[in-house]
Amino acid sequence: MGTTTAPAGEVTVDVLFVGAGPVGLFGAYYAGFRGLTAALVDPLPEAGGQVQAIYPEKNIYDIAGLPAVQGQQLIRNLLEQAKPFGPRFLLSQQASDIREVADGWRVTTSSGVVVNTRAVIVTSGVGSVTPRPLPAGEELLGRGLCYFVPQLEVFDGKDVVVVGGGDSALDWALAAVPRARSVTLVHHRKQFRAHEHSVAQVKDSPCHLVLDATVTAVRGNDSVESVDVTVRGEDGARELKAQVVVAALGFLMDLGPIAGWGLEMEGRAIRVDTRMRTNLPRVYAAGDAATFPGKVKLIAVGFGEVALAVNNAAVELNPDATLAPGHSSDLVPASEPLAPEGNSAQPRSKEVAGWRS
Q: Which residues are annotated as a binding site?
A: 42, 50, 55, 95, 288, 329
Radius of gyration (C-alpha) of the chain in whole angstroms:
23
Do the bridges between strand 244-247 and strand 145-146 make them parallel or antiparallel, or are there none, so unpaired? parallel
The gap between the terminal CA atoms of the chain, to the nearest Å, is: 29
Do the bridges between strand 290-291 and strand 88-91 make them parallel or antiparallel, or are there none, so unpaired? unpaired
- Quickly count: other Cβ atoms within 10 Å of residue 337's Cβ: 6
Amino acid making up residue 37: T
Phi, psi for 265 (deg, rounded to 5): -110, 155
114: exposed, middle or buried (Cβ count in 10 Å: 0-12, 13-18, 19+): middle
Beta-bridge mates of residue 332: 356
Which residues does the annotation place in the binding site for FAD? 42, 50, 55, 95, 288, 329
CB 32 within 8 A of CB 85: yes
Proportion of the chain in helix, strand, coil states, percent, rounded to 5: 25, 30, 45
CB 312 within 8 A of CB 278: no
